Structure 1
Amino acid sequence: MPAGKYEILVVDSSAANRALLGECLSQLGDVDVAFAQDGGEAIQQIAARSPSLVLIDIHLHDGNGIELVRRIRNREILKDESEFSLWMPVIFLSPLIDDDMVARGIIAGGDDFLHKPVSEVILLAKVRAMLRIVGMQREIHAAHRRLKQISTLDGLTCIPNRRYFDDTLNTEWKRCQRTGAPLSLILCDVDYFKQFNDIYGHQAGDLCLKAVANALSESLFRVEDSVARYGGEEFAVILPGTDLRGANAVGERMRTAIRDLRIPHTQGIKAFVSCSFGVAASRNLSDCPAEQLLRSADQSLYQAKKRGRNRVETLAPAAQMASLT
């Protein structure tokens, strides 16, 4: 839905009532209206549309509105989301309203009651009031998202940081474990970076890390792949759904991209900045934690440095299996 637009879901078993409410709500220029004739259809619409506001008749063909709201709120509680969910206000519509009904409706998760037949003036006023709150909530949610993005970005290189890497690795590990897909990791280290800083200074070192980070990012062609600054001159890459052969290919593409930068380094490999890469992959994630895959990638990186740097290394199959058990 476009920014600034709201969607209202009207749940009423009467086609005439739905049409009447829809005609009234259409006077609000920033609103789209959807309809459901019973609780089952309402749940489907909410799952598909995530409306900004729901109007529910207290009497439905397949149950009462209070029970429907209880189901809606229970569904919200059971959602598995990394971010908090937007609050969805609910207004009940009823021809009879007493204290007991109001109490039960509010306890179930409703937010207001309107008497039927609904006054057009009151309905529009109530809806506008609720949507003002929804609008403020959207602003808070957007600010929260921006703060979260800032908290997971490395201040120097502007790529994700170690916190992001740890969270993403945990998430992708669980997803690949659930689906049976392979998961690969690459650890990358800038060769002789201490010497680079000693020769050219820390400001040049910072520029070097920025250039390396950008080259690594541009070497990833899939949206699900990610690279993060792991710490100092080290970077880490998560490749969900990629096997060892594919991860090695990505590592080699990254190695070439760094060399193509041709950043001078008198004590580097052939007088230019280069990187070493350690690769690890696993398809069976059920018996070992993510830390073991990370340890295997780290051992591969150590092997790359030991064998001369500026190379992509993977542990021999037997050694990799040993590190993953």
Structure 2
Amino acid sequence: MSHDTQWYATPGAQPRLLLVDDHQLNIRVMYEIFRHEFDVFIALNGEQALEKCAELHPDLILLDVVMPRLDGFEVCRRLKADPELAAIPVIFITSHFDEADEVRGFELGAVDFIHKPVNPIITKARVKTQLQLKQQADLLRAISQIDGLTGIANRRRFDQQLELEWRSCCRANEPLSLLMLDIDYFKQYNDEFGHLAGDECLRRVAMAMQQAIGRPYDLLARFGGEEFAVLLPRTNSHGAQFLAQNILLKIQHLALPHPYSPGGIVTLSAGLATVVPQEHTQARQLLQRADEMLYKAKQQGRNRLLVDESLI
């Protein structure tokens, strides 16, 4: 199972800069300006630029306006139409000063224009300004997608990622698994120990589940109350069941006392569903089936995993 880019920036990593120009001399000039402070990637036409963006998710794109077949404006339009790439800032590079072109570029979502021949000091300053703005926006976005109590992803983050992974797995014809989990008899736990202890229980359970998830692109989220969700892209039912059983065992090994649980400790119930997304299906079907499996697991005595593969 391959790893993917984390949804937050890696601390200490150099920013990724994509240079797009069909003239290699221009590329060499720009490369020399940025190579010491950035991880620089190169595309020589619009098609390559779109492929590199999907592969690398650069932090910023310097994009030539005039290119054969697919010009800079069309590349920018397609980037901004893709939810996974729309947040990447685009700075247009142009040898012509045309007010109408600049208006068009800003309307398409560009953040700045730089005119050739480029001035290294001005160009570097403008790039750094846009990167700082992007980093601030990324930080605010990350904070808004974190559950304040447990520190894991919140429901908003989960909903967004479910739609993104659904489309990605649909394009690649790969399986997507969803695990729904619920702390057993949590109301009774709160009644016995109080809500502060209940909050601490949620934090410890969330931390243990996060430790059980090995891949950076698997998403653990607090779905609501004492319910959690684990989104497992490119994971078949067998692999998802293995992870789910590990999570349930890890919570049991915490041995958090719970006098109203049959085993005397905090346990989880879980429901799992797996699907290979298709154009005619929707992500809510996967969510519905995993939730139904969770409900049945609780009906059948809790502290167990039930699996549904009817959507495959």
- Provide Cα deviations, 1:254-309, integer angstroms capped at 9, x if missing partner: 11000000001111131100110111112354443221221111111111111111
What is residue 123 of structure 2 aligned with on the other side?
A: 130
What is residue 263 of structure 1 aligned with on the other side?
A: 256
Distance 2:263 2:170 in 1: 42
- Provide Cα deviations, 1:27-75, integer angstroms capped at 9, x if missing partner: 899678x999xxx935578565977657x7xxxxxxxx74669811210
Query: Structure 2 residue aligned with 1:84, among 73, 87, 106?
Result: 87
What is residue 165 of structure 2 aligned with on the other side?
A: 172
- The change in CA–CA distance for 1:290 and 1:72 in structure 2 (over 3 A counts) is same
Query: Structure 2 residue aligned with 1:209, among 202, 207, 212?
Result: 202
Structure 1 residue 225, shift from structure 2 partner: 1.5
Query: Structure 2 residue aligned with 1:239, among 228, 232, 236?
Result: 232
- The change in CA–CA distance for 1:28 and 1:277 in structure 2 (over 3 A counts) is closer
The correspondence of residues 64-213 of structure 1 with structure 2, limited to 5 A, is: 66=66, 71-79=71-79, 80-82=82-84, 83-92=86-95, 102=98, 106=102, 109=105, 111=113, 124=119, 127-213=120-206
What is residue 59 of structure 1 aligned with on the other side?
A: none
Distance 2:255 2:37 in 1: 55
Specify the SS of the correspondent of 1:138.
helix
Distance 1:255 1:275 in 2: 6
Specify the SS of the correspondent of 2:141.
helix
Specify the SS of the correspondent of 2:232.
strand
- The change in CA–CA distance for 1:12 and 1:211 in structure 2 (over 3 A counts) is closer
- Provide Cα deviations, 1:55-100, integer angstroms capped at 9, x if missing partner: x7xxxxxxxx74669811210111124342213242418xxxxxxx
What is residue 253 of structure 1 aligned with on the other side?
A: 246
The answer to whether the 8 A contact 1:152-1:161 is kept is yes
Percent identity over paired residues: 30
Structure 1 residue 251, shift from structure 2 partner: 1.3
> Gaps spanning 5+ residues in structure 2: where?
1-11, 106-111
Structure 1 residue 201, shift from structure 2 partner: 1.0
Distance 1:156 1:174 in 2: 30
The answer to whether the 8 A contact 1:187-1:235 is kept is yes
- The change in CA–CA distance for 1:313 and 1:2 in structure 2 (over 3 A counts) is closer
Distance 1:129 1:242 in 2: 47
Distance 2:21 2:275 in 1: 49
- Provide Cα deviations, 1:213-261, integer angstroms capped at 9, x if missing partner: 1111111122222110000000011111222222222211111000000
Distance 2:17 2:175 in 1: 40
What is residue 7 of structure 2 aligned with on the other side?
A: none
The answer to whether the 8 A contact 1:160-1:229 is kept is yes
The answer to whether the 8 A contact 1:188-1:277 is kept is yes
The answer to whether the 8 A contact 2:272-2:305 is kept is yes
Q: Does 1:219 align with 2:216?
A: no
What is residue 60 of structure 1 aligned with on the other side?
A: none
Structure exhibiting the larger radius of gyration computed from Cα positions: 1
Distance 2:34 2:238 in 1: 56
Q: Which moved more, 1:66-75 or 1:187-196?
A: 66-75
The structure showing larger relative contact order (alpha-carbon pairs under 8 Å, at least 6 residues apart) is 2
Distance 1:293 1:2 in 2: 36
What is residue 61 of structure 1 aligned with on the other side?
A: none
Distance 1:238 1:4 in 2: 28
Distance 1:310 1:35 in 2: 50
Structure 1 residue 311, shift from structure 2 partner: 0.8
What is residue 291 of structure 2 aligned with on the other side?
A: 298
Structure 1 residue 209, shift from structure 2 partner: 0.4
AA of the residue aligned to 2:285: Q
Specify the SS of the correspondent of 1:230.
strand
AA of the residue aligned to 2:95: F
